[in-house]
A and B are shown apart, each in its own frame.
Chain A
Amino acid sequence: MKSEEAAVYMQSHCAGLPGTEDPRIAKAVRVAEKDPALKPELARLREQDGRNLAAVEQVMLPPAFLGKLAAGHAEAARPFSGKAFFAQPVVLAIIIGAVVLLGWGGVSLWNRSQDFPGKDSVMRMVEVNDEMTGMEMEPKKDSAAALDDWFFDKYGFEDYYLAPGFENYQTAGARLFKQDGQPVAQVAVPDHNMVFFSFKAEDFGLSLPNDQWRTFRDGDWVAAVVQHDDESFMVTFRGSGSDMDSLLQGLKK
């Protein structure tokens, strides 16, 4: 060990306190004891420490403090109240857990309230919109209601159904495709860039109270589906739930 290092490490040496030294400090002291430049400094340090240590060791713990500490046991054991209670990690963890559970439960309940039999099937129809290139449909400019005969003549499809209020929308194209082997009529409408779907409810397990709309979101799309006896109609477009509500309310007027 060099003298410079020894000069630093020996500062952590305190002669009056045995057993507090690191091997590096002990070595530094041995080096200093042999080093002519460090030896007087070490002696001064020891002398100063001796005086100061004696003064420090005169300080005693006030007897009342132990009593206060013992009394603190009762205080520490007292149940937490107010903010202190809620600041406890265990309590915080319970609160966070409860909030997450409630949130998850709330979302589950909301989802369940939005669910209906056959929803998965109609959602897959909505997803078909995203997979289309525009080439799949046959150009067909007519009123939506007029396509009833066209679907029957061209495909033999008898279950084309339009919810009241959608009959007069002008169409741009139409086609019949099969999902799970069951026919679905699909119609493109330039107004609002809407896409209509019409299908037989029982083919897709759809079961809704008659003439009651159910709205749901799927990605960018919003859809509203309605059943009338065994016929069903779904309208979809890119937008929000409130856009769909406005459209459906406009139909009632």
Chain B
Amino acid sequence: MDLPISTEDLTRLFRFALLLTGDEGAAQQVLYDACVDTAARLCSYRNEDQQLACLVGSIRQKARVATAPVVADPRAIVRGFITLPEEERVALAGLYTGLLPARLLAEALKMSLEQMGRALKSGRERLERAGLQMGEPSLEQAL
């Protein structure tokens, strides 16, 4: 498949899919399906940001219907994300993967910058609490 996407961006997209689905297999499938579905459209976009925004939207849609993980991912950050409501999860995953400038990310997620700000605040708080409940004051220490 000829995608106008670098391996570095594919890696970011995979992280985004993983944080949304909570499962590596499901993340691969979601990313693969999104690439297949958008491959023809991507070349028609004028710049890389628009291509990434298209993929972000497609991954979000597919992750919503992906099956929930049967076995919890060993990574605390992934387990923490799966506890978040979808809007907070997608906003924080989008921010942490650095795929798009914040304004474009909000557009791709169909939110205003204010809505995304509130979702991020609440998502961060929830994620912190989830980390503490798991007995991991720092999620990175769980790795």
Where the two chains meet, the residues of A that have a C-beta atom closer than 8 Å to any C-beta of B are: 8-14, 16-17, 19-22, 24-25, 45, 48-49, 51-62, 65-66, 68-70, 72-73, 76
Contact = CB atoms under 8 A, between A and B. Distances in A.
B31 A59 contact: no
Contact of B102 (A25, A57, A61, A73): A25
Contacts of A20: 95, 98, 100-102, 105
B64 interface: no
Interface of B: 1-3, 7, 10-11, 14-15, 18-19, 24, 28, 31-32, 35-36, 39, 75-78, 95-98, 100-103, 105-106, 113-114, 116-118, 120-121, 124, 127-128, 138-140, 142-143
A250 B26 CA distance: 75
B19 to A, nearest CB: 7
B143 A11 contact: no
Contact of A12 (B2, B7, B31, B95): B95
The 5 closest A-B pairs by CB, nearest first: A55-B77, A8-B117, A17-B98, A12-B102, A11-B117
A138 B117 CA distance: 89
Given A12-B102, A20-B101, A55 B140 contact: yes
Contact of A73 (B2, B11, B19): B2
Main secondary structure of the interface of B (DSSP, over half): helix
24 contacts: A8-B118, A11-B124, A12-B116, A13-B102, A17-B96, A20-B95, A20-B105, A22-B101, A45-B124, A52-B96, A52-B140, A55-B75, A55-B139, A56-B15, A56-B96, A57-B15, A58-B143, A59-B11, A62-B14, A65-B10, A68-B32, A69-B3, A69-B10, A69-B32
A200 B96 CA distance: 91
Given A55-B142, A65-B28, 18 more contacts: A11-B116, A11-B118, A14-B95, A21-B102, A25-B102, A48-B128, A51-B138, A52-B96, A56-B77, A57-B15, A60-B11, A62-B14, A65-B14, A66-B10, A69-B1, A69-B3, A70-B1, A76-B39
Main secondary structure of the interface of A (DSSP, over half): helix
A66 B28 contact: no
A55 B96 CA distance: 10
Contacts of A12: 95, 102, 105-106, 113, 116-117, 120
B113 A22 contact: yes
A9 B121 CA distance: 10
A15 to B, nearest CB: 11
Contacts of A8: 114, 117-118, 121
A112 B120 CA distance: 70
Nearest to B19: A56
Contacts of A14: 95-96, 98
